[in-house]
A and B are shown apart, each in its own frame.
Chain A
Amino acid sequence: MPDALPPLAALARRGPLDRASPVPGVTLAPPMRRVALHGDMSFYAGIPLPRTPLRAALSDETAILWLGPEEWLVLAPACDNVVPGNGSVVDVSHRQVGLHIEGYRAETLLNAACPLDLDLDAFPVGACTRTVFGKAQITLWRRDAALFHLEVARSFAGYVHALLREAALEFGAG
């Protein structure tokens, strides 16, 4: 079987930035199984789907993000198979790219082009939503106080990544 070549492959070869760095780091999330769920569903692969708007559920290595009424995005380990269910279950693993924005002032970096209020009170750990970053639509999920998971459509990934790097320059990112 031939090799897979994810977008931003050059970035994947960079080591993750030092956690203690005062500079917000932007790294490529590992390959994963992504599943778009639509419909009147309650579980995916035995995991209860989050019913609260704008909140993600995390079960072991699988995250399920509420995106809209009757709409979720599953982020699971790449080796997981797609599990059928009621409604619409579509494998979108290659449709988008995950980026991790982490570290001190990660939310300030995101606010360079994202209009959301990312204060911890307004967008707490576990919050997730579709929004915009510059001229791209993104899905943003706060995994930790200083760790955001950003999903962006594959062909917009280069743009979003370049914009993040440009905005991060003033924080001292090289």
Chain B
Amino acid sequence: MKFTFDGRPYEARRGDTLAAALIRNGVHLMGRSFKYHRPRGVLAAGAEEPNALVEIDRGGARRTPNLRATVVEVFDGMVARSQNRTPSLRFDVGAVNDLLAPFLPPGFYYKTFMWPIGAWAKLYEPLIRRAAGLGRAPDLPDTDRYTQRFAHCDVLVIGAGPAGLAAAAEAAAAGMRVMLCDEQAEFGGSLLSDPAAAAGLHETLAALFANPRATMLCRTTAFGIYGDNLVGLAERVTDHLPDPDPALPRERLWQVRAKRIVVAAGAIERPLVFPGNDRPGIMLGDAARIFATRYGANPGRNAVVVTACDTGADVARDLAASGVRIARVIDLREGFRVTGTSGRLRVSFIGIERGGAREKIPCDLVAMCGGWTPSIHLYSQARGKPRFDAALGAFVPDTEVSNLICVGACAGDMPGAYRAGIAPVSSEGRAFVDFQNDVTAKDLELATREGFRSIEHVKRYTTTGMATDQGKTSNINALGIVAGALGATIPEIGLTTFRTPYTPVTFGTLAGHSRGDLFDPVRTTPMHQLAVAAGAVFEDVGTWKRARYFPRAAEDMHMAVARECRMVRDSVGMFDATTLGEIEVVGADAAEFMNRVYINAWTRLAPGRCRYGVMLGENGFVMDDGVVGRLAPDRFHVTTTTGGAARVLAAMEDYRQTEWPELRVWLTSVSEQWAVIAVQGPRAREALLPLVDGLDISAAVMPHMSVVEGTFLGIEMRLFRVSFSGEMGFEVNVPADYGHAAWEAISARVGACQGGLYGTEAMHVLRAEKGFIIVGQETDGTATPDDVGLAWAIGKAKPDFIGKRSLTRSGMSGPRRQLVGLRTDDPATVLEEGAQITATTDDNRPLGHVTSAYGGATVGHSIALAMIESGRDRLGATLQVRMPGRAIAVRVTAPVFYDPEGARLDA
């Protein structure tokens, strides 16, 4: 396989990580550090890698920064680039930061860029972000697909090393539903770098793969444990493929609900803290061994192994077996100290000292064995409380977590030879603790001298452990240094919190399908395509698409809305009202239930009649409104606002179940059963008459606020005589599948009557001219019925209804804001909705605000509705609508601008 790194071509073997391939090609310089731009190679061979962050470019939008070279699998033709360097990795001008290091202590930013305050956002932050940084974010929309899946299992095993495989095999043999995931491309963990284990590994895996109850997920990181054993897994499906099938998602989020979780996450080796410990060629001992044995990529020819435990001997043995010359094994337990290293882009010498005797050893590889840190991240996320194991020099699981166990190395179960306390530190010079965030031992000591005591504060001040690797290789060393500087023990210093995700997870994985057209449901009515064909401009109302207006050639919105309004006033208009909520309230106690839910009295509403209903919250404030028709003594057809449909049904159901379970009444949402077409205007009856199969819809038989069940061209119909426009109006309800046909039939008739379509904008203007409120526009959750002029609707004789008691609480009467109309001197001036209103321009005390404002298409002047303190006492008064830089004088009027007697409704 061929790939390029920073434009240079290289060869790779199947199964290589990018880091392994580069090392086999003799490339050790892979990145520049975050703050000082120091040349860096790999430190590790797995997910804990802090240094070797690269960008993989598949062209166009498919460029991904900040990937760990130790995790990225090479595919044929891969284009990889280094990051955080200008112009090249070898010659990076940012490296000047390294020379300035004495002037860049922890807290440097906080101490230096204090003044002037405005310069932070404009100058300092952009400069710092450019100089100190990770990769370049992609600047095109992501073209890949991401998917998600819920899964359930008896046992989820996290980590497919020896302990995890054993657990999975045992659970599978017991007939359980097992899921096994591992972040690597292959199952096996440490067994993969042990040739002697290959046969047994193959046998175990074959049995698991053959088991239909076992789900095997490689390239899958368990990144978080959430409530009740829900585990988040991020599966990388196609990133390793040269030419992925576009049908496949790039990544998949698994939300796994596991009855039991087995964490077999292994352990991470610790680096040693000595001067110059960050040069390319200096890496963890286990990483050196993995590159040499598993990938056949010797990370050097001439190695020095520095060790604080017996791991060093094993590493030296395995490296030697792979053909690496072992120049020296330096065992820190024998009194040695590392004094420094040299080599600009790769280590060339290491200096040691014992008892005053100094020595420089030439080498091109330094393997550091600082002991092992169990990966307790997931255990800790599951709220397990670890304890410090001094012999291991690390925290291990302690308290029990229900239905979760840790096994193998992550439980601290390691051979004695691999156990080491925290290694001694040589903090002179530049001894790095957190490689990704460039935090040195001296920085940590300085922070303690400046007064930071808690490890949480030291972490935030120095940024140790705060990089994208979340301190996987640095936390324990940092704790040791802070504890040493403060003369305290590590348990006293405490442990920083482990948070999700374990390793970075892409936004694509978390978003999954929820993007583009699938981000939210887009709800359309049965007549939507007809509105589209009629040239409608749509607006979003919740998740609905509603036709806002229907412009004709060269019309702007204002002109179209004015025409639609005149059409309704002069002849007839039709409007899609399907999105309104509809609830069928049925049962012997339906009227009693309605009495308790709405402020109105329903007992004496005759079948076939409608009433405008108002619903309050228990706090006495208007929650919803709508027309209610009584179809039969035990059956009401209730309408709600579009936005309130779900909320109103839920509130009603709450009272039905929990407050009044004795009532024989049931609720059925029929919002989507009916297509609703409003036909409004003086010629509405004329337009409908030929369509309603002989039904008598004369004013005498079907007056304003009545309802009848009949047929519409043979289709089942509920016909309401209602008006939200102020004109004679009908609302035709037909079963939704027939909405399309009914719309076409009415459209032809309306056209014959010089009418046409109108949208939500004209609907708003028409209702505002009549002073009809819209809940949520005139009201804001603090308006009583009286505030908005609806006190007349209250059934005064009723013993109780939702919110009744609140209406007599103190503060619910007296000088409250009330609904009024506003007129401007200039009839063309349209006020701004939301504008504040004061008594005079000298007085800034707000009296209220404009709630609705329109050009007023048919009354000859602009109109506005407002909620104003004691508004009804101010009729005729002049107030000021305060706008930026000016005020507009307005006269307070009654809120009804058109046909105040309502004569047109009864036509």
Residues of A within 8 A of B (CB): 1-7, 31, 36, 38-39, 70, 87-96, 108, 111-117, 119, 122, 134-136, 153-156, 158-159, 162-163, 166-167, 169-170, 172
Mark out the residues of chain B between 505 and 560 whose CB falls within 8 Å of any chain A CB in the assembled complex.
Answer: 513-514, 517-518, 520-526, 544
Q: Does B745 contact A (CB under 8 A)?
A: yes
Q: List 7 other contacts, CB 8 Å, given A95-B671, A112-B513.
A: A88-B584, A134-B521, A155-B521, A163-B518, A166-B145, A166-B513, A170-B247
> What's the dominant secondary structure at chain A's contact region?
loop
Contact of A94 among B148, B152, B713, B735 (CB under 8 A): B735
The docked-state distance in angstroms from the alpha carbon of A169 to that of B745 is 40
- B150–A6 CB distance below 8 A: no
Contact of A158 among B247, B524, B715 (CB under 8 A): B524
- A88–B668 CB distance below 8 A: yes
- A95–B736 CB distance below 8 A: yes
- A87–B672 CB distance below 8 A: no
The docked-state distance in angstroms from the alpha carbon of A102 to that of B393 is 55
Question: Looking across the interface, which residue of chain B has its beta carbon closest to that of A92?
Answer: B673
- B673–A88 CB distance below 8 A: no
Contact of A117 among B257, B518, B523 (CB under 8 A): B257
- B152–A119 CB distance below 8 A: yes
CB contact under 8 A between A2 and B713, given known A88-B587, A113-B148, A170-B247: yes
Contact of B741 among A3, A90, A159, A162 (CB under 8 A): A3
Q: With a CB–CB cut-off of 8 A, which chain A residues contact B101?
A: none
Enumerate 13 A-B pairs (CB-CB under 8 Å) in ascending A order: A1-B713, A5-B739, A38-B586, A90-B668, A95-B672, A112-B147, A135-B520, A155-B544, A159-B518, A162-B518, A163-B513, A166-B513, A167-B147
Would you list the 4 A-B pairs with minimal beta carbon distance, nearest first?
Answer: A2-B741, A38-B666, A155-B523, A159-B521
Contact of B150 among A3, A111, A156 (CB under 8 A): A111
The docked-state distance in angstroms from the alpha carbon of A28 to that of B583 is 27
For the complex formed, measure the closest distance between the CB of B251 and the CB atoms of chain A, giving whole angstroms. 12
CB contact under 8 A between A122 and B518, given known A92-B670, A134-B513: no
Q: Does B752 contact A (CB under 8 A)?
A: no
Q: With a CB–CB cut-off of 8 A, which chain A residues contact B670?
A: 90, 92, 95
- A39–B257 CB distance below 8 A: no
- A108–B149 CB distance below 8 A: yes
- A88–B714 CB distance below 8 A: no
Contact mask B202-242 → A, CB, 8 Å, 1/0? 00000000000000000000000000000000000000000
- B513–A170 CB distance below 8 A: no
Question: Looking across the interface, which residue of chain B has its beta carbon closest to that of A35?
Answer: B668
- B737–A4 CB distance below 8 A: yes
Q: With a CB–CB cut-off of 8 A, which chain A residues contact B735?
A: 4, 93-94
The docked-state distance in angstroms from the alpha carbon of A136 to that of B514 is 12
The docked-state distance in angstroms from the alpha carbon of A31 to that of B735 is 13
Contact mask B734-765 → A, CB, 8 Å, 1/0? 01111111101100000000000000000000
- B520–A1 CB distance below 8 A: no
- A135–B521 CB distance below 8 A: yes
Q: With a CB–CB cut-off of 8 A, which chain A residues contact B521?
A: 134-136, 155-156, 158-159
Contact mask B644-679 → A, CB, 8 Å, 1/0? 000000000000000000001111111111100000
Q: With a CB–CB cut-off of 8 A, which chain A residues contact B513?
A: 112-113, 134, 163, 166-167
The docked-state distance in angstroms from the alpha carbon of A163 to that of B517 is 9
Question: Looking across the interface, which residue of chain A has its beta carbon closest to that of B257?
Answer: A117
Question: Looking across the interface, which residue of chain A has its beta carbon closest to that of B213?
Answer: A119
Residues of B within 8 A of A (CB): 145, 147-152, 177, 247-249, 255, 257, 513-514, 517-518, 520-526, 544, 584, 586-587, 664-674, 713-715, 735-742, 744-745
Contact of A111 among B149, B584, B737 (CB under 8 A): B149
> What's the dominant secondary structure at chain B's contact region?
mixed
For the complex formed, measure the closest distance between the CB of B712 and the CB atoms of chain A, giving whole angstroms. 9
Q: With a CB–CB cut-off of 8 A, which chain A residues contact B524?
A: 155, 158
Q: With a CB–CB cut-off of 8 A, which chain A residues contact B665?
A: 88
- B736–A114 CB distance below 8 A: no
- B149–A169 CB distance below 8 A: no
Q: With a CB–CB cut-off of 8 A, which chain B residues contact A113?
A: 148, 150, 513
CB contact under 8 A between A169 and B247, given known A95-B673, A134-B513, A136-B521: yes
For the complex formed, measure the closest distance between the CB of B511 and the CB atoms of chain A, giving whole angstroms. 12
For the complex formed, measure the closest distance between the CB of B519 and the CB atoms of chain A, giving whole angstroms. 9
For the complex formed, measure the closest distance between the CB of B240 and the CB atoms of chain A, giving whole angstroms. 16
CB contact under 8 A between A159 and B514, given known A38-B666, A88-B586, A170-B248: no
Q: With a CB–CB cut-off of 8 A, which chain B residues contact A163?
A: 513, 518
The docked-state distance in angstroms from the alpha carbon of A170 to that of B714 is 46
- B736–A94 CB distance below 8 A: yes
Contact of A2 among B147, B177, B587, B715 (CB under 8 A): B715
For the complex formed, measure the closest distance between the CB of A128 and the CB atoms of chain B, giving whole angstroms. 18
The docked-state distance in angstroms from the alpha carbon of A154 to that of B145 is 27
- A88–B666 CB distance below 8 A: yes
The docked-state distance in angstroms from the alpha carbon of A115 to that of B149 is 8
The docked-state distance in angstroms from the alpha carbon of A167 to that of B665 is 41
The docked-state distance in angstroms from the alpha carbon of A156 to that of B646 is 14
The docked-state distance in angstroms from the alpha carbon of A163 to that of B715 is 33
- A36–B668 CB distance below 8 A: yes
The docked-state distance in angstroms from the alpha carbon of A78 to that of B537 is 36
Question: Looking across the interface, which residue of chain B has its beta carbon closest to that of A110?
Answer: B150
- A94–B666 CB distance below 8 A: no
- A170–B147 CB distance below 8 A: yes
Question: Looking across the interface, which residue of chain B has its beta carbon closest to that of A115?
Answer: B150
Most chain A beta-carbon contacts within 10 A, residue among B584, B669, B673? B673
Q: With a CB–CB cut-off of 8 A, which chain B residues contact A88?
A: 584, 586-587, 665-668
The docked-state distance in angstroms from the alpha carbon of A159 to that of B524 is 10
Contact of A122 among B152, B523, B674, B736 (CB under 8 A): B152
Q: With a CB–CB cut-off of 8 A, which chain B residues contact A153?
A: 672
- A87–B666 CB distance below 8 A: yes
- B152–A39 CB distance below 8 A: no
- A117–B152 CB distance below 8 A: yes
- B714–A1 CB distance below 8 A: yes
For the complex formed, measure the closest distance between the CB of A155 and the CB atoms of chain B, giving whole angstroms. 4
Q: With a CB–CB cut-off of 8 A, which chain B residues contact A5?
A: 526, 737-741
For the complex formed, measure the closest distance between the CB of B500 and the CB atoms of chain A, giving whole angstroms. 19
The docked-state distance in angstroms from the alpha carbon of A170 to that of B665 is 47
For the complex formed, measure the closest distance between the CB of A122 and the CB atoms of chain B, giving whole angstroms. 7
Q: With a CB–CB cut-off of 8 A, which chain B residues contact A154?
A: 526, 672, 736
The docked-state distance in angstroms from the alpha carbon of A5 to that of B525 is 12
The docked-state distance in angstroms from the alpha carbon of A111 to that of B518 is 16
